[in-house]
Structure 1
Amino acid sequence: METLVWVVHVVTAVILVGLVLVQRGKGADMGAAFGSGSAGSLFGSSGSANFLSRSTAVAATVFFITSLTLTYLYAQPAQVSGVMDRVDVNTLQKNVPAAVDAPDSKVNQIPK
């Protein structure tokens, strides 16, 4: 589930960046550069702005939803047991050397 959300999130981010870079400002039409109207645009005189604006809004909405979903998934407490959860404490206590537990051992004494 997390992998699918991550893939959708990254793909949506790339699409969102591309859509924002393709859009032009209000005064930066092709007609401003070549002296003609915007009739030569790909989607007609006003279709380009509506199509790109709506596509950007949809991509932004999907991006926010995947962001919130990832936040929700990672905010949950971890249910996965670690390696140390499988260790038997009784087995560890049997295998500990006696020198570690002995207070009189020279290993545990600090020289003065």
Structure 2
Amino acid sequence: MLYSILLGVQVLLAIGLVTLILLQHGKGADAGAAFGSGASATVFGARGSGNALSRATALTATGFFLNSLALAFLVANRPEAPSVVDLIDTAPVMIEEVFEVPESDVPPGSQGAGDVPN
């Protein structure tokens, strides 16, 4: 149950982290903002969104890494489940045993599989 909750939180943190990283301006965006390309009309003001987005990205990344460590700890300390390969029955089966039909189940006058009608 805890693993499923942490896995869901991990997915949400990953989506949030990608979103926050894509919202940030690159290094080349500062040159355009210096010549008055509408930087004062942004939501965060003329100073820019660098401080708020950087802080949110750092907090989300910290949560992502801590959640990753918690998931790794849960997976490493769970009881060992048998492998699917271990559950396969590898005992040899004789083909005659599989297709053997008792004589009482064969209707009288029927031909066997190897008999060719005349």
TM range (shorter): 0.5 to 0.7
Tell me the equivalent position of 1:71: 72
Task: Note the C-alpha offset of 1:47.
Answer: 4.8
Q: Which runs of 4+ in 1 moved over 3 A?
A: 79-82
TM-score by length of 1: 0.62
Residue ranges of structure 2 left out of the alignment (5+ in a row): 84-118
Shift of the 80–62 alpha-carbon distance from structure 1 to 2, 3 Å rule, reads same
Q: Per residue, is there more helix in 1 or in 2?
A: 1
Aligned residues: percent identity? Answer: 41
Shift of the 33–45 alpha-carbon distance from structure 1 to 2, 3 Å rule, reads closer
Shift of the 13–23 alpha-carbon distance from structure 1 to 2, 3 Å rule, reads same
Residue ranges of structure 1 left out of the alignment (5+ in a row): 83-112
Determine which structure has more spread, i.e. the larger CA radius of gyration: 2
The Cα offsets for residues 81-107 of structure 1, whole Å up to 9 and x where unpaired, read as: 89xxxxxxxxxxxxxxxxxxxxxxxxx
Task: Note the C-alpha offset of 1:40.
Answer: 2.0
Computed over aligned residues only, the root mean square deviation of the Cα atoms, in angstroms, reads 2.6
Would you say how many aligned residue pairs link Structure 1 and Structure 2? 81
TM-score by length of 2: 0.59
Q: Does residue 44 of structure 2 align to residue 32 of structure 1?
A: no
